[in-house]
């Protein structure tokens, strides 16, 4: 398989899942700042010009964090990356979608890619502030859903991988995490696979 990723991005969550499953895959780096996502060669693989992209053994490309995470969980059920019952699986997808769609797609996107939300530089700070508000409110919601100890749904799941990358971003830009989110983040940082992935992506792990 070929995994198209950018270190420190949302693809870190998928990277963690691939390593958890101990799968063999080739990494293809996508430099977003250099515009690699818009290069013809990459658009031929993923015309959405987004990350992550996973090209599977049959040559077909799968895009979108949630779709890739779900496919990995269902394809390798022995790893138990989903709880395994209808309600538990739905809760995992619910939490993952909120992290990816709301915190990332609505909140962090305004902070990291401000110019996509307004053509006027004078509005940039207001857009970023709005993004921080969305992120802060989003973590407050997640804090109520997370247990006081352990992973999001008991055992490690695809939801934890999604939560981790937005928690990681918050930590890196100084957005405080509420208590349960902070406990979850620290738990994830103590997981050997997570530490290995961060080191592979060029981050120092304390």
> Cα(193)–Cα(21) distance, rounded to whole angstroms?
10
Query: Which among 48, 54, 70 has a CA at the least distance from the CA of 5?
Result: 54
Cα of first residue to Cα of last residue in the chain, in angstroms, is 31
The residues facing 155 across adjacent strands are 153
Strand runs labelled E in 105-193: none
> Cα(99)–Cα(160) distance, rounded to whole angstroms?
10
- State both tokens at 29: 């780096």
Q: Which of 9, 60, 75, 157 is catalytic?
A: 9
**Residue 22 burial (10 A CB sphere; 0-12, 13-18, 19+):** exposed
Query: Which among 136, 97, 129 has a CA at the least distance from the CA of 111?
Result: 129
**Residue 66 burial (10 A CB sphere; 0-12, 13-18, 19+):** middle
Q: Is 9 a catalytic residue?
A: yes
- Contact between 63 and 33 (Cβ < 8 Å): no
Show which residues are catalytic: 9
């Amino acid at each position: 398989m070929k995994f198209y990723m950018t270190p420190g991005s949302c693809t870190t969550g998928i990277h963690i899942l691939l390593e958890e499953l101990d799968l063999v895959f080739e990494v293809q780096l996508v430099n977003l700042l250099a515009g690699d996502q818009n290069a013809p060669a990459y658009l031929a693989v993923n015309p959405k010009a987004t990350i992550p992209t996973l090209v599977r053994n049959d040559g077909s490309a799968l895009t979108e964090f949630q779709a890739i995470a779900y496919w990995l969980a269902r394809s390798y059920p022995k790893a138990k990356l989903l709880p395994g019952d209808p309600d538990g699986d739905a809760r995992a997808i619910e939490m993952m979608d909120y992290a990816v769609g709301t915190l990332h797609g609505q909140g962090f996107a305004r902070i990291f890619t401000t110019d996509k939300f307004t053509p006027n530089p004078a509005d940039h700070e207001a857009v970023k502030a709005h993004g921080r508000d969305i992120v802060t409110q989003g973590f407050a919601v997640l804090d109520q859903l997370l247990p006081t100890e352990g992973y999001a749904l008991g055992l490690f799941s695809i939801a934890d991988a999604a939560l981790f990358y937005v928690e990681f971003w918050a930590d890196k830009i100084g957005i405080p995490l509420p208590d349960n989110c902070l406990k979850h983040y620290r738990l994830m940082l103590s997981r050997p696979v997570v530490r290995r992935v961060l080191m592979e992506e060029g981050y120092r792990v304390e």
